[in-house]
Structure 1
Amino acid sequence: MNVISTRQLSKSYGTTVALRDLDLEVRPGEVYGLLGPNGAGKTTTLRLLIDVIRPTRGSIRLFGAHMSPRLRGRIGYLPGDLVLYDRLTGADYLGFCGALREHPDLSEALRLAKRLDLDLDRRTDELSKGNRQKLGIVQAFAHRPELVILDEPASGLDPLAQREFHTYLREYVDGGGTVLFSSHVLSEVEHVADRVGILLAGRLVVEDTVTSLKANAVRELTFTFGEEVAAASFSGIPGVQAAVQVSGTEIRCRVTGAVGELVRTAARFPLLNVTSHEPDLEDIFVHYTEEHSDDD
């Protein structure tokens, strides 16, 4: 049974379509990263899942059931526009959240706050953006939820805090938890996500593991030869999208999939060197954004 399952989930505001026919499945014990530019529908998706807003069309099931007060207690949530009570200390705020959830045990919250180096004795209006974000993260995990939904969780965190948070996230999932998060920080998604979905103009345009996305992405291989070689020698090779003559002895090829045939072809000439630009998640994201730009 999937932890999250949506079917044709759609949300419109008047004539503006924020989300279109989203079929999303998040499995138990995984970290699912949702990528997309501003306005792609990421925050709308997360708000629909926690029942803050209602869909125009489609269905949502969490833990195999429709949203209910009982299910809310199994979910932790960090909004992208976190609002805190300025006159409360961090400890007071966590106690307030615990009372609302009927979960007064703050032991997990205290452990995570210590790991993130968060001072819970300071009032929230005295906290920096990064420390306010830490407090939001702590409250999302404080009641040991089975599912945590996070909107831009690394926003404002310094590198050390990010690293500790990512370590905690993996420990949480290894312990049986499930995470769905959105992010603009592509390196974060690449580092912690098991699977990635890319939203563009309210549509899920691709979904796969990070490893698979990178394996099927466009890569650049540059071959340097001991004598002049024509770029036309590399045309028609399976997977080669383009071969460009950089100089008389240097050829740059854009290729997807396996590169064995391309390398074998290059080896027929006096090959001196091969350099490869391996795609990262940012390259993949830009590729899909450009490919689907006409849908905006």
Structure 2
Amino acid sequence: MALLKVSNLTKRFNHFHALNGVNMEVNEGEVYGFIGPNGAGKSTTIKAILGMLKPTQGTIEMYGKDVRKHAVEVHKHIAFVPGDVNLWPNLTGGEIIDFFLNLHGRANHERKETLIKQFELDVSKKCKSYSTGNRQKVALIAAFSIDADLYILDEPTSGLDPLMEDVFQKCIEEIKSQNKSVLLSSHILSEVEKLCDRVSIIRKGQIVETGTLDEMRHLTRMHFIVESTQALSHLSQVPGVHNLTQEDETYYFKVDSEKISGVINYLGNYEIKRLASQPPTLEDIFKRHYEDNDKVGE
């Protein structure tokens, strides 16, 4: 069931189209990845979902309710973490967390204490002394201490060290186990790849690809490493082979997923010492899509 539905979302600033017909659905119990470079439209989409920007066109619904017309009701079910956290400098981290939780009717104070320990945050310090990572921890602890149905996270691990990123990922896994939903906007592709059930790539204000990682991997290329004592003559001419390079007896290349069988048949004609293959990463999918579109359209 769709928890959040964005339909034909368009936002213009004078003659500039920041968003141009964005469509997405976040289902219950789903971690939904939202990726793209700076300026692609990720934060603009999130601001529109939160009611911070009025769309030029399109609708945004949560539980079937318009997020602008029913903003108060909808926001009872949402927790939000921005990528650039600004806090009151003369309040302590603990005071700010409590302030946010007291504003929300679904706060879990026991969960808050657990999260403070997990994120190793000194809540007695004033926020003006906090690093970027510690300010981010304040926002994460406040958000994850709320029993929300949808967690909207815009670059949530900015400034966190690797150990704290692990804590963050465990929090996401716990949220998912409770059948809660997450909209995760991130530039850390490995994070999205590990956590997300489905992913959308946004480019110049438009969603250009959506699917599970497995579905999207069918649209791109496998990595091959082949070592042979025999010269693999005409390998570059085999249908589906791309980006061929050679170092001594080792060949590195990529293969379109639907052409793998033909490449394997070709390799069967040679004495192969080593054959290794791996599916593309989300970063490969992301880069290829951008590179291919740039070549066509620019």
**Structure 2: any 5+ residue segments left out of the alignment?**
none
* Structure 1 stretches of at least 4 aligned residues deviating more than 6 Å after TM superposition: none
Instruction: From the superposition, tell whether residues 94 and 251 of structure 1 become closer, same or farther in structure 2 (CA, over 3 Å).
Output: closer
Q: Residue 6 of structure 1 contacts residue 25 of structure 1 at CA under 8 Å; is this kept in 2?
A: yes
Opposite residue 279 of structure 1, the aligned amino acid is P
Instruction: From the superposition, tell whether residues 251 and 142 of structure 1 become closer, same or farther in structure 2 (CA, over 3 Å).
Output: closer
CA separation in 2, counterparts of 1:37 and 1:47?
Answer: 17
1:76-95 superposed matches below 5 A: 76-95=79-98
2:163 corresponds in structure 1 to: 160
> What's the Cα RMSD here?
2.2
TM-score with structure 1 setting the length: 0.91
Query: More deviation in 60-69 or 250-259?
Result: 250-259
CA separation in 1, counterparts of 2:261 and 2:207?
Answer: 32
Cα distance, 1:265 vs. partner? Answer: 1.8
Deviation string for 1:224-274 (max 9, x for gaps)?
Answer: 3332332158524xxx14374737965544312152331122112222222
Q: Residue 107 of structure 2 contacts residue 145 of structure 2 at CA under 8 Å; is this kept in 1?
A: no
Instruction: From the superposition, tell whether residues 143 and 245 of structure 1 become closer, same or farther in structure 2 (CA, over 3 Å).
Output: closer
1:40 corresponds in structure 2 to: 40
Q: Secondary structure of the residue that 1:110 maps to in structure 2?
A: helix
**Structure 1: any 5+ residue segments left out of the alignment?**
none
Instruction: From the superposition, tell whether residues 244 and 89 of structure 1 become closer, same or farther in structure 2 (CA, over 3 Å).
Output: closer
TM-score with structure 2 setting the length: 0.91
CA separation in 2, counterparts of 1:233 and 1:181?
Answer: 39
1:156-235 superposed matches below 5 A: 156-231=159-234, 235=238
Instruction: From the superposition, tell whether residues 33 and 291 of structure 1 become closer, same or farther in structure 2 (CA, over 3 Å).
Output: same
Cα distance, 1:74 vs. partner? Answer: 0.7
Instruction: From the superposition, tell whether residues 247 and 154 of structure 1 become closer, same or farther in structure 2 (CA, over 3 Å).
Output: closer
Q: Secondary structure of the residue that 2:7 maps to in structure 1?
A: strand
1:30 corresponds in structure 2 to: 30
Deviation string for 1:95-138 (max 9, x for gaps)?
Answer: 22123224565222222122111121111111111111010111
Q: Residue 231 of structure 1 contacts residue 245 of structure 1 at CA under 8 Å; is this kept in 2?
A: no
Residue 116 (structure 1) aligned with residue 119 (structure 2):
yes
CA separation in 2, counterparts of 1:243 and 1:15?
Answer: 40
CA separation in 2, counterparts of 1:295 and 1:111?
Answer: 50
Opposite residue 65 of structure 1, the aligned amino acid is K
Cα distance, 1:201 vs. partner? Answer: 0.5
Opposite residue 18 of structure 1, the aligned amino acid is A
Residue 66 (structure 1) aligned with residue 66 (structure 2):
yes
Q: Residue 108 of structure 2 contacts residue 147 of structure 2 at CA under 8 Å; is this kept in 1?
A: no
CA separation in 2, counterparts of 1:103 and 1:229?
Answer: 64
Residue 261 (structure 1) aligned with residue 262 (structure 2):
yes
Instruction: From the superposition, tell whether residues 140 and 234 of structure 1 become closer, same or farther in structure 2 (CA, over 3 Å).
Output: same
Instruction: From the superposition, tell whether residues 185 and 253 of structure 1 become closer, same or farther in structure 2 (CA, over 3 Å).
Output: closer
1:273 corresponds in structure 2 to: 274
In percent, how many aligned pairs have the same letter? 30
CA separation in 2, counterparts of 1:27 and 1:64?
Answer: 12
1:132-151 superposed matches below 5 A: 132-151=135-154
